Structure 1
Amino acid sequence: MTDKTILVTGTYDTKSVELGFLTSCIQQQGGHVLTMDVSVLGDPPEPVDISKHDVAAAGSSSIQQAIDSGDENHAIQIMGRGAAAMVAKLYAQGRIDAAIVLGGSMGTDLALDMLAAMPLGVPKYIVSTIAFSPLLPPERLPADIQMILWAGGLYGLNAVCRASLAQAAGAVLGAARAARPPQKGTPLIGMTSLGKSVLRYMVTLKPELERRGYEVAVFHATGMGGRAFENLAQEGAFACVFDFCTQELGNHVFGSMVSAGGTRLTGAGKARVPQIVAPGCYDLVDVIGWQETDPRFDGLESHAHNRLITSFVLDADGRRKVARAHCEQLAKAQGPTAFLLPKGGCGAWDRPGEPLHDTAGLKAFCDEMAATCPDNADLHQLDCHINDEAFCDKALEIFDSWRAQGHIRG
């Protein structure tokens, strides 16, 4: 309980008092601290364990180059690259168990680069004045990042600031003590879905894949879930992916903030990870329910899922656009790729008799997929619904075939 070491990072030239308080809180709870300075112009009033010069050098640059650039954006990217290289090295050497970064927009920009270099399951925290802000692009957020709002902390210590920093100290040290980073062993399958009320294939597929010796992680495809899925797929964390809810791609195409970013449906293909893909809930675009509705959705049927999410039902033209977006992303894949197209529908609410049943809209999507599916993807047109057993049977048939051919490890 007393041997965990936390890397505390920030601009020690301007935030040494706040960083010092954070360090003292960790140490008072029995933790150890390694300090790293990522400032550029000034020098810390007290020595640190890893200097800004060490950080810049780790990024194949120097503090002088950062200064000479005359561009604060360029300078922070130099330090971000160096901090990322440094934290990866420190963790590989077994010198740290977790990391926490303190900053405003500049420090947070750097922190996103730095913490993305740490493996999944290693605690990574940002105490930021812009925590949870829409300024943060989903594609830059590590899958297991934790954020704490640095309330009242823009300049100097005060009661509000101390409360935030003390909680952050307890959070990162507690996480380091409790952490169980994934161990290499049982191969992992990545799957995307929404809740069982709309998509049910995971109920059948999860135990079947487990019987085959695989562990299954199901990601909630509501923006950040898809981002985490893509992040891990690109890192090669999965033996295979069952990417059966690609709705986030449509969200991105239509400009929704409920997005996993423009790289959705590319991570597995880029890493040559075998992928079986299906367009679960492709016909819906989710938007932030408490914001003013974009005029582009005028005239479309809508449903308030809750106070956070409102869904718009795409017309035939919108569905064709989403189909083309699928094909554009799949064309980039460098590994085995299969696309399952359930011609009976892709969500519980589009079955005959259900409120979103739209024969013409479904046909428009299916026809566009068939016409534009890239040559590197095997298209399987299925006479069933995505929630039917026949859909799961086909997915497992492809999976078993790829295993027999040696495409899937494990």
Structure 2
Amino acid sequence: RALPIGVPKYVVSTIAFSPLIAPDRLSADIQMILWAGGLYGLNDICKATLSQAAGAVYGAALAVEPPDPDRPVIGMVSFGSSALQYMIHLRQPLIDRGFSVAVFHGTGMGGMALESLAEQGYFAAVLELAVAEIGNLMVGSVVNAGSNRMMAAARRGTPIIAAPAFGDMIDFATWQPVPERFRDRPYHAHNRLLASASLTGEERRELAREVACRLKQSKGPVHFVLPTQGIHAWDVEGMPAHDPEALAEMVDEYK
């Protein structure tokens, strides 16, 4: 995990992709292949596996493009434009101002990748525009980025702009049963992989306190943008996820 993102990493293992390997123990850009049939020596099956792994690392090393030193990189965590439509209007102006913009999907592995790069000092600034991974961590959802989420940029003093988008929902796998504590709540099946359930006002307060606690540890400047009429496109009047009272509790806690 200490190797920077971009350095080719390939794991050949008899337990590749098994539940024994938790995602938070792996680098965000690692690749794995099953070591099949080679427990007691080489044979045609495992030789093919080794050849593929070696070829993958060699090819990846040759394919690396050096970064542009004249374009500082801004790291963002967000979701798709169906929910966070401002991203359509935010990214291009930053590019026009001379920045390279890297947007990470806030579904666990994306947040892990951003933290890894932030720890290396890769970013000129970080825009934390979705806090769902923190909420997911707090309720035990597998869709989280680990306990260090929102900490690397803060520790390095990288400038941070944050907003509470999706601080009102938790995510879980669509194909699994809805967790019992969330069964009677507003529910949104985003696709065949991810579904979301609404948090109560008190749960939103708890999440707001946790986000604020992490941001307060920053050694650099932090700016927090706090919408008061809704924090994403599904949290507006007339939409099932809109809960004005719970929203008001969250806004009050952040203030």
Query: What TM-score comes out, normalization by structure 1 length?
Result: 0.59
**1:336 corresponds to which residue?**
221
**1:34 corresponds to which residue?**
none
- The one-letter amino acid of 1:215's match is S
Distance 2:243 2:85 in 1: 20
Does the CA-based 8 Å contact 2:4-2:120 persist in structure 1? Answer: no
Equivalent of residue 251 in structure 1, options 136, 144, 149 = 136
User: Which structure carries more relative contact order (alpha carbon 8 Å, separation 6+)?
Assistant: 2
Equivalent of residue 16 in structure 2, options 124, 131, 143 = 131
1:163 and 2:48 correspond = yes
Deviation for aligned residue 1:183: 4.7
Equivalent of residue 202 in structure 1, options 79, 87, 107 = 87
Equivalent of residue 176 in structure 1, options 61, 82, 86 = 61
**1:401 corresponds to which residue?**
none
Deviation for aligned residue 1:235: 1.5
Distance 1:135 1:335 in 2: 38
**1:313 corresponds to which residue?**
198
1:350 and 2:203 correspond = no
Deviation for aligned residue 1:360: 0.8
Unaligned runs of 5+ in 2: none
Does the CA-based 8 Å contact 2:4-2:116 persist in structure 1? Answer: no
Which string of whole-angstrom CA distances, capped at 9 and with x for unpartnered residues, describes residues 50-106 of structure 1? Answer: xxxxxxxxxxxxxxxxxxxxxxxxxxxxxxxxxxxxxxxxxxxxxxxxxxxxxxxxx
Distance 2:20 2:210 in 1: 25
- The one-letter amino acid of 1:232's match is L
Deviation for aligned residue 1:139: 4.3
1:234 and 2:234 correspond = no
Does the CA-based 8 Å contact 1:120-1:182 persist in structure 2? Answer: no
**1:20 corresponds to which residue?**
none
RMSD over equivalenced CA pairs, Å: 1.9
Deviation for aligned residue 1:155: 3.4
Of Structure 1 and Structure 2, which has the larger fraction of its residues in helix?
A: 1
SS at 2:214 equivalent: helix
Deviation for aligned residue 1:290: 2.7
Equivalent of residue 222 in structure 1, options 72, 92, 107 = 107
Percent of matched pairs sharing the same residue = 51
Change (3 A) 1:306 1:153: farther
Deviation for aligned residue 1:237: 0.5
SS at 1:349 equivalent: coil
Equivalent of residue 244 in structure 2, options 343, 350, 359 = 359
Does the CA-based 8 Å contact 1:236-1:271 persist in structure 2? Answer: yes
Distance 1:152 1:163 in 2: 11
Does the CA-based 8 Å contact 1:121-1:180 persist in structure 2? Answer: no
**1:148 corresponds to which residue?**
33
Distance 2:46 2:176 in 1: 30
Equivalent of residue 291 in structure 1, options 176, 180, 187 = 176
Distance 2:181 2:136 in 1: 13
Does the CA-based 8 Å contact 2:171-2:196 persist in structure 1? Answer: yes
The number of residues matched between the two structures is 255
Query: What TM-score comes out, normalization by structure 2 length?
Result: 0.92
Which structure has the greater CA radius of gyration?
1
Distance 1:144 1:153 in 2: 25
Deviation for aligned residue 1:138: 4.2
Does the CA-based 8 Å contact 2:125-2:160 persist in structure 1? Answer: yes
- The one-letter amino acid of 2:59's match is G
SS at 2:12 equivalent: strand
Which string of whole-angstrom CA distances, capped at 9 and with x for unpartnered residues, describes residues 306-345 of structure 1? Answer: 2222211112122111111111211211111111111111
- The one-letter amino acid of 2:237's match is P
Distance 2:111 2:4 in 1: 18
Distance 1:277 1:328 in 2: 13
Q: How does 1:9-88 map to 2 (within 5 A)?
A: none
1:302 and 2:191 correspond = no
- The one-letter amino acid of 1:257's match is V
Distance 1:157 1:274 in 2: 52
Change (3 A) 1:197 1:142: same
